[in-house]
Amino acid sequence: MTEKLETNSIFSHYRIVSQIGAGGMGEVYLAEDTRLGRRVALKVLPEGIAGNRDRRLRFEREAQAALARASRGVLSLRQDRPKAAKPRWV
């Protein structure tokens, strides 16, 4: 499992507020997008999963499924994967 992101730490341009969940496919954090000034849910893959092609594809399918179900009151999804960063979606 990846090292847990600490409260108030910075991950890319997100400030971590708190961890809100964790499971087999990663950790989910309440974070503040410092560029847009809004709170988001940030999902980060553990390093062991990020290096596994099949698990990364599953992660991408999960993101696509979330996009397919997105509605005004449910979820908006923004993929953000700069070079040398852990896979994540917001």
Summarize pLDDT for 5-46 with one digit per residue, the tens: 899 999 888 999 999 998 877 889 999 999 989 898 888 887
Q: Does 4 map to a domain? A: no
Q: Does 72 map to a domain? A: yes
Q: Does 33 map to a domain? A: yes
Q: Does 1 map to a domain? A: no
Q: Does 65 map to a domain? A: yes
**Per-residue model confidence (pLDDT) at position 1:** 43
Q: pTM of the entire structure?
A: 0.72
**Per-residue model confidence (pLDDT) at position 67:** 75
Strand blocks (E) in 1-90: 10-11, 14-23, 26-33, 38-44, 88-89
Question: Could you list the residue range(s) of the whole structural domain that residue 50 is in?
Answer: 10-89
Number of domains in the chain: 1
In degrees and rounded to multiples of 5, residue 82 shows phi and psi of -70, 160
Sign of CA dihedral 79, 82, 84, 90: negative
For residue 66, the SS3 value is: helix
- Say which CATH number the domain at 22 has: 3.30.200.20
